[in-house]
Amino acid sequence: MRDEVDDLVEAWGRERGDLDLAPVEVFSRISRLARHLDLARRDAFTAHGIESWEFDVLAALRRAGTPYELSPGRLLRETLVTSGTMTNRVDRLTARGLVERLPDPKDRRGVLVRLTAEGKAAVDGAFEALLAAEADLLADLPEKQRTQLAGLLRSLLAPFS
């Protein structure tokens, strides 16, 4: 079975046969899979009427557990965006009624963002759709190999944490 990266490596090999292209075999596939995955996510979420960035924020709140509240600062660290972006996102999610802003009782500088009942329903539905779509992509991979893959990826990712 051949993929796009085989072509990529072949082309580079023709032009730069002096280089060891082994890293490309791994990292180029990771980048491309991430791009395809983004599109698959987008599709899965569209069916549930939410966008990827909305899911990122709602999912962080959902994972926090009841009462589903986090500060904007915490949210931006979870989702790796800047504060200006998070302000904008919370604005739009508030306008859609999926979250609400409340003053932080412990710190009068601060604000808490809380999932509404609709927000919780939306994120739960979207997450199930995402898992289903992802499970499809993995359907051809036997469980043993899937576990092996997860383990290898973990060993690459762990140094960053």
Partner DNA sequence: TGTGAATATCTCGACATCAAGACACTTCGC
Partner DNA sequence: GCGAAGTGTCTTGATGTCGAGATATTCACA
Give contact residues for its own copies (rule: CB under 8 A): 1-6, 8, 11-12, 14-16, 19-27, 29-38, 62-65, 80, 124, 127-128, 131, 134-135, 137-138, 140-141, 143, 145-146, 148-150, 152-161
CA distance 68 to 10: 50
Count residues contacting DNA (CB under 7 A)?
Answer: 24
Tokens representing residue 111 in the block: 């604000």
104 binds DNA (CB under 7 A): yes
Among 21, 32, 40, 53, binds DNA (CB under 7 A): 53
Among 71, 100, 114, 134, binds DNA (CB under 7 A): 71
Q: Are 24 and 5 in contact (CB under 8 A)?
A: yes
Among 41, 89, 127, 130, binds DNA (CB under 7 A): 89
Residue given tokens 């927000």 in the structure block: 119
CB burial string 146-158: b at 16+ within 10 A, e below: eeeeeeeeeeeee
